[in-house]
Amino acid sequence: MEAPPREMGIDDFNKFVMEEVHKRYERIDSHYRCRKCGTRTEQVVCYVSLHMAGFSFCSGSGKVGNLALLYCPKCEGAPKKYHTCVHIPMPIGGSAVTTFIQIT
């Protein structure tokens, strides 16, 4: 699985990730396996830059989150793209709270 598309909102980002995981992999016990070939998945860290929505370009505080990005080493190989960004609402008088899906 490649990194999610850039410039999504956090809810769309989380929905995209979970849909891709459920489409491609099956959870068996405490790990995931590829739905096509049954191979146990591996993972890389996907870096997710947090940007403020409302700008016409990617701009933010410099904060970066991360997400375990699953892939099948047999069918897909390691992702070539493992960096993306999400656009979160600009906070009013405080800091933005962002929660990424934890694939466990």
**pLDDT band at 67; cut points 50, 70, 90:** confident
Cross-strand pairs, 67 = 46
89: helix, strand or coil: coil
Give this prediction's pTM: 0.75
Phi-psi domain of 96 (left: phi exceeds 0; alpha: psi -120 through 50; beta: other): beta
25: helix, strand or coil: strand
pLDDT tens track for 2-58: 888 877 888 888 899 999 999 999 999 989 999 999 999 999 998 888 888 777 678
Write the DSSP assignment of 56-80 as a string of letters: SS--EEEEEEEEEEEE-TTTT-S-S
The pLDDT, as a whole number, for residue 44 is: 92
